[in-house]
Structure 1
């Protein structure tokens, strides 16, 4: 589905800060258990900077990594040399997923948004 954004306010030491939660939907690559998240940012990274790096952002749970790498489903385990482009330079995870494509930013200088492995994937 399309991403939903929820905004909350946090009060820390009498200062108010906006907290954004980037929710990508029930079956997306950003649905990663908090204890399985792999860091993709730094303390204080903004949602825009995080997603601009090709990573997921969720500040819904305090005390866990908020900027983290997306998970890769089996149909998205395609060798970088075999990836068929499905996006454009600078495409976000949300934009890529909305096209029905896979997003994997773990390797630099390769296609990050690509078509799923067709032998294991069925379009509904």
Structure 2
């Protein structure tokens, strides 16, 4: 049984701060929430574009090893989620190559399954 209080959403925090008379703090929380949403959207769009670059050899377009290596390095900087953003069943499909285990679908580094 957990005794921790329930987590509040940023909107609830902003409302609570506003009710306490901390309007400036409430506005700041609201602005930070909107900025976070925007940044997450941009990150996801960039990751989708980078995944398309990393998949170039498999879809028949011209091969550019340096560009593909840079795309995979960029993908390595993103937080790996437990769910594959590309697969229909949301599960990563690990494949090991050159000592690195990556998902065959989204090209993110994933932990090796032993």
Query: Same fold per TM (> 0.5)?
Result: no
Determine which structure has greater relative contact order: mean sequence separation of CA pairs < 8 Å that are 6+ residues apart, divided by chain length.
Answer: 1
Q: Which has the higher helix share?
A: 2
Question: Which of 1 and 2 has greater Rg?
Answer: 2
| TM-score, scaled to structure 1 | 0.23
| TM-score, scaled to structure 2 | 0.24
